[in-house]
Amino acid sequence: MAFFRPLDVLVLLSIAAAATGSFFLTDNQAGSRAEIYVGNKKVASLDINQPVQEKDISTGIGMVRVKFGDGRIAVTRSPCAQKLCIHQGAIQQTSQHIICLPAQLQIVIIGGNQSSKPADGLDAISY
């Protein structure tokens, strides 16, 4: 009995091709601003191409401090228990997000002419 049958190899190659194709479909541009949401409400829009600054964001569990500038943004202080949002580090590309579930905080990088609202029509996910 063989470990791989011929059809198994075909399935593995198609999965590898799909993974490689999805890598090239993602938008990996450097962003120009960051939008910060608490719950479903946008609470801040920050220009990340400015000199480095810090800002406190009020959430349901306390204050979250973000450090932004020089083309990137990061969470530096959070009242959540595991601090995964801090350990994620700085983000700078439009395909990256920082999410803190206990604080219901989401940070999204937006490009220069890009809006956070989805455009009408097809995209890579719904196509």
7 falls within a domain: no
What's the confidence (pLDDT) of residue 9? 83
Does 37 fall in a domain?
A: yes
Q: CA 85 to CA 62: how far, in whole Å? A: 14
Q: What percent of the chain has pLDDT over 70?
A: 80
46, part of any domain: yes
Does any domain span residue 16? no
- Number of compact structural domains in the chain: 1
Tell me: pLDDT of 114 over 60: no
Residue 118 lies in a domain: no
Domain of 58, in residue numbers: 33-110
**pLDDT of 126 over the 90 cut:** no
Predicted confidence at residue 32, as pLDDT, reads: 83
Domain-located, residue 1: no
85-112: pLDDT as tens digits: 999 999 988 878 999 999 999 999 988 6
In-domain check, residue 90: yes
* CATH number of the domain that residue 84 is part of: 2.60.320.10
Whether 65 maps to a domain, the answer reads yes
Higher pLDDT, 82 or 21: 82
Q: Which pLDDT does position 111 carry in this prediction?
A: 80
> Chain-wide mean pLDDT for the chain?
83
Which residue, 59, 35, 61, is CA-closest to 47? 35
The predicted-structure confidence for 38-71, as pLDDT tens digits, reads as follows 998 999 999 999 999 999 999 999 999 999 999 8
pLDDT at 118: 47
